[in-house]
Amino acid sequence: MSTTTTQPDGTGTPGQDTAQELLFEVKGHVAHLTLNRPKALNSISHDLDLRLQQAWQEINDNPDIWVAVLSASGDRAFCAGADVGGGPEAHASRLALGGGLTGIGGPLLKLKKPLIAAVHGYALGGGFELAMCADIIVAADTAQFGLPETKAGIIGECGVVHRAIRQLPHRIAMAMILTGERLGAQDALQYGLVNEVTSREELEAAAAAWAEKICAASPLAVQAAKHAALERAGYPLEVALATRFEPIEAYANSADSKEGPKAFAEKRKPVWSGR
């Protein structure tokens, strides 16, 4: 597939406008989203929240997009959370932080496709939660994950603490929540929060390598597996085992389900269509 630069609503443009708060580009089967407010530490403004919501919807609806990579411009931060200086309009849409991906203060948007977060610098508060919404996290060695809310005397709709306590060892998460102290990239790797640590210069390439690995698998099978794993993650094993998952059942009638065995019999790599 050719490289396509798009607006978050999917309409094509001649090139990226660097004034945009979100850069959205599709290369092959990979959607690349870049938070583009470096002077504001890539905090989520009202406009950026709207643009992200449009981008997630485009990714969900476009069958030719198989995986998404979320990164940020500048060198200081991945995302410092909500833009607290955004004024009352920042909460008017109730899309929730990150276009609804985190579900903070609004409806939770479920991304069907795998999401890779490429994190560098500060990932704080809602920015930390935005990273934890990803299925794969690649971190630069400069990454610092933190929950500064209690240290700053601010606490509200704290979805980030619920994700942290589920994705980190209990006492590590509680120490971060209660003290506001940050977690560095190597410690995050040790505790299983991130999949890989690399240099800032190699971060983009590392995220692209993970996207390539995912694209080598059947996209429909990947989406069905993600749905099944997350839909019953908080349930007892017995309930999960007894659940029928519609995406898995639908996959049985797809072209990709036939391509896998055919490619194996012909001793070649499968050519997935995502159909």
Catalytic center residues: 129, 149
Q: Report d(CA 23, CA 25) in Å as an integer.
A: 7
* Cβ partners under 8 Å of residue 239, min gap 6: 232
Task: Give the residue carrying structure tokens 């509200």.
Answer: 156
Q: Report d(CA 221, CA 215) in Å as an integer.
A: 11
Q: Are 78 and 127 in contact (CB under 8 A)?
A: yes
Kind of pairing between the strands at 183-184 and 144-146 = antiparallel
Query: CA-CA-CA-CA torsion for 96, 99, 101, 102, nearest 10 degrees?
Result: -30
Kind of pairing between the strands at 144-146 and 122-124 = parallel
Burial class (CB in 10 A: 0-12, 13-18, 19+), 208: middle
Q: Report d(CA 29, CA 1) in Å as an integer.
A: 7
| CA distances, 136 to each of 56, 131, 192, 220 (Å) | 17, 9, 11, 18
Q: Are 183 and 139 in contact (CB under 8 A)?
A: no
